[in-house]
């Protein structure tokens, strides 16, 4: 499934955006639907002040060019972009780190497309049946294990499908899910801390939990809050976009929960149909779940679900470059740098433009990573530990390329830390950087030291409730026990006339996964070059240290994935099966 947007508008920021939009050159013209050429001219990109900034800009313009057709995974446009990055890695002085001594690591995938004629969701109560309308009221999720799948079974409400004994919360207490359809809300209780709320809100965790308890189907019910964040109509219009999963050597999908024959989503507007005959409405139950009241119950309805899916094998590529460490003892330990190369391809035309170029998301991240690689390769000596740079595929499909690499590192050796770059919204100048996730491990001290050397301030995540640490490629490495940091753009204005937070909010509202995420946005390439220097300096700090990074004592991720904290905890060989 597509990864959710990394920033959600708050009311305050939305109001600030409306008040200050006129101060953002070019962006206001684009929003008003002015002439595209005039908008592009008025939003002329900052003139690069140094060669690093110029190189980053050149890469962004190349990767976000229309020739790349939006870089959708498995398309010729993505392959063309991968070729560009491989050439860039070679120019930077890296060695090939992919399969068979080349630049590319093959990523085997399955692509699944819904066939609407086979979709069904019918609610049966006391002899009466109500069928929901495909697309308008419900959407099944692709089934990667069977072309045709159906289930007719009693329904059980399971709250938000969370079992968190450490927080004294169990939505499954007293319930028997064997042979039943689990009906659930998304999210997690507000009383959970940000880290645990993010982890337990993940759909994969919910589906795993109900599948392990014997459910044969699942229905995710939309709420009014969901509708505010992501309107049903917006997601439903893209129902025909393929979904993807990793593929094993036998051609089967990985992480596909085959016990769940049908999984479907229901809009908030149709939610009460599922709770017919009960004592509470969908809105009342959603509020109880949000407030942290655990528990579920058998519903009086029977659900009949069906889905038809066209599944086909697909292959894509990670681009892998290596800078070998100079210390023979530590050279088989790798700091892995990641930035996703894919975007969402082409789609519904907006103002006549159907190419979703993905300049910020994530051509800019890839370009910054390539510049960091160049800086490290050009240094007087390589770090003691090796560095591996991976432009990963299929992030938009669920972090698939990074998950494959984390489990199967093409360069071999042991992965000890991850530095990830994803969609830094650098459309207003800032004085700082936001290193997301550093509070979980010893990387915090490394990042702070590097920031002092580079001369950039460090700011905390301004939106911790968004839990972006579990929503980009670094989480693939976290799941393998590897400490990670996600470097994001700053929030402290360098120019009182332009606020980076307002600028980021404008982008998320108007251009995230839209055609206007293109290279004519007012990208501040000086800030991008600074972020590349910071990334390289962090990698140098990790690479030179005697000890590899470790999870903090008692950290949730360290305990769940890294075997606890302490010396050696958190290093991953990438050979495990993962937990997702």
Domain range for 117:
112-312
Asked whether the predicted pLDDT for residue 16 surpasses 50, the reply is no
- Asked if residue 571 is part of any domain, the answer here is no
Asked whether the predicted pLDDT for residue 34 surpasses 80, the reply is no
C-alpha 473: how far from its chain's center?
6
Q: 328 and 306 share a domain?
A: no
Q: For residues 252-281, give the mean pLDDT.
A: 95
* Per-residue tokens: 577: 């099966």
Question: Which of 256, 286, 312 is a domain's end point?
Answer: 312
- Asked if residue 2 is part of any domain, the answer here is no
Give the domain CATH number at 557: 3.40.630.10
Asked whether the predicted pLDDT for residue 252 surpasses 50, the reply is yes
Cβ(219)–Cβ(266) below 8 Å: yes
Number of domains in the chain: 2
Q: What is the DSSP string of 407-464?
A: HS-TT-SEEEEEEEE-----SS-BSEEEEETGGGBTHHHHHHHHHHHHT-EE---S-G
Q: 289 and 361 share a domain?
A: no
H/E stretch holding 363: none
Cβ(504)–Cβ(489) below 8 Å: yes
Better-scored residue on pLDDT, 66 or 579 = 66
Q: 346 and 475 share a domain?
A: yes
What is residue 131's three-state secondary structure?
strand
Give the domain CATH number at 152: 3.50.30.30
Q: 290 and 363 share a domain?
A: no
Q: 184 and 170 share a domain?
A: yes
Q: For residues 183-207, give the mean pLDDT.
A: 93
Sign of the Cα pseudo-torsion (303, 198, 491, 434, in order): negative
Q: How far apart are CA 498 and CA 518, in angstroms?
A: 20
Vertex 447 angle, CA 445 and 448, to 5°? 65
pLDDT confidence of residue 6: 38
Q: 269 and 407 share a domain?
A: no
Q: How far apart are CA 294 and CA 283, in angstroms?
A: 15
Q: What is the pLDDT of residues 524-561, one digit of tens each?
A: 999 999 999 999 999 999 999 999 999 999 999 999 99
Asked whether the predicted pLDDT for residue 356 surpasses 80, the reply is yes
pLDDT confidence of residue 463: 81
* Per-residue tokens: 240: 């025909």
Q: How confident is the model at residue 462 (pLDDT cuts 50, 70, 90)?
A: confident
Better-scored residue on pLDDT, 319 or 33 = 319
**Prior bond of 188 cis (ω within 30°):** no
């Amino acid at each position: 499934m597509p990864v959710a947007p990394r920033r959600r508008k708050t009311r305050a920021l939305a109001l600030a955006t409306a008040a200050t939009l006129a101060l953002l050159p070019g962006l206001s013209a684009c929003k008003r639907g002015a002439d595209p050429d005039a908008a592009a001219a008025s939003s002329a990109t900052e003139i690069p002040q140094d060669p690093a900034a110029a190189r980053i800009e050149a890469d962004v313009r190349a990767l976000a060019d229309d020739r790349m057709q939006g870089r959708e995974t498995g398309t010729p446009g993505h392959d063309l972009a991968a070729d560009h990055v491989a050439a860039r890695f070679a120019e930077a002085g890296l060695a090939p780190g992919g399969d068979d001594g080349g630049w590319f690591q093959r990523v085997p995938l399955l692509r699944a497309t819904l066939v609407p004629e086979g979709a069904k969701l019918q609610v049966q109560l006391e002899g009466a049946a109500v069928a929901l309308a495909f697309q308008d009221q419900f959407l099944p999720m692709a089934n990667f294990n069977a072309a045709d799948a159906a289930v007719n079974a009693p329904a059980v409400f399971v709250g938000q499908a969370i079992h968190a004994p450490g927080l004294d919360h169990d939505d499954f207490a007293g319930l028997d899910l064997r042979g039943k359809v689990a009906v659930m809300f998304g999210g997690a209780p507000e009383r959970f801390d940000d880290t645990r709320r993010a982890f337990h809100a993940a759909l994969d965790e919910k589906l795993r939990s109900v599948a392990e308890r014997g459910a044969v189907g699942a229905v995710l019910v939309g709420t009014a809050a969901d509708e505010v964040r992501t309107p049903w109509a917006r997601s439903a219009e893209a129902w025909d976009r393929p979904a993807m999963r990793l593929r094993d050597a036998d051609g089967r999908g990985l992480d596909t929960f085959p016990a769940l024959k049908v999984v479907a989503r229901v809009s908030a507007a149709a939610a009460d149909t599922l709770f017919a005959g009960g004592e509470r409405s969908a809105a009342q139950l959603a509020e109880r779940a949000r407030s942290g009241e655990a528990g579920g119950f058998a519903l009086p309805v029977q659900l009949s679900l069906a889905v038809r899916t066209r599944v086909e094998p697909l292959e894509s590529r990670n681009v892998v470059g290596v800078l070998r460490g100079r210390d023979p003892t530590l050279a088989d330990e790798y700091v892995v740098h990641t930035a996703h190369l894919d975007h969402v391809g082409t789609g519904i035309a907006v103002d006549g433009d159907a190419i979703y170029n993905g300049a910020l998301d994530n051509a800019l991240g890839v370009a910054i990573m390539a510049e960091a690689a160049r800086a490290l390769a050009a240094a007087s000596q390589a770090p003691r530990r090796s560095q591996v740079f991976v432009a990963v595929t299929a992030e938009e499909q669920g972090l698939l390329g990074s998950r494959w690499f984390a489990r199967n590192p093409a360069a071999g050796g042991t992965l000890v830390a991850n530095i990830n770059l994803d969609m830094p919204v650098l459309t207003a100048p800032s004085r700082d950087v936001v290193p997301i996730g550093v509070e979980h491990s010893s990387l915090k001290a490394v990042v702070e030291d590097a920031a002092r050397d580079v001369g950039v301030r460090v700011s905390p995540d301004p939106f911790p409730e968004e839990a972006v640490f579990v929503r980009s490629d670094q989480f693939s490495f976290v799941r393998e026990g590897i400490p990670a940091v996600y470097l994001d753009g700053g929030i402290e204005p360098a120019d009182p006339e332009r606020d980076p937070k307002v600028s980021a909010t404008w982008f998320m509202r108007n251009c995230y996964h839209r055609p206007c995420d293109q290279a004519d946005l007012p990208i501040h390439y000086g800030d991008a070059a600074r972020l590349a220097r910071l990334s390289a300096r962090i990698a140098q700090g990790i690479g030179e240290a005697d000890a590899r990074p470790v999870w903090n004592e008692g950290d949730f991720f360290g305990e769940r994935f890294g075997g606890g904290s302490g010396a050696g905890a958190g290093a991953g060989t990438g050979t495990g099966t993962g937990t997702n």
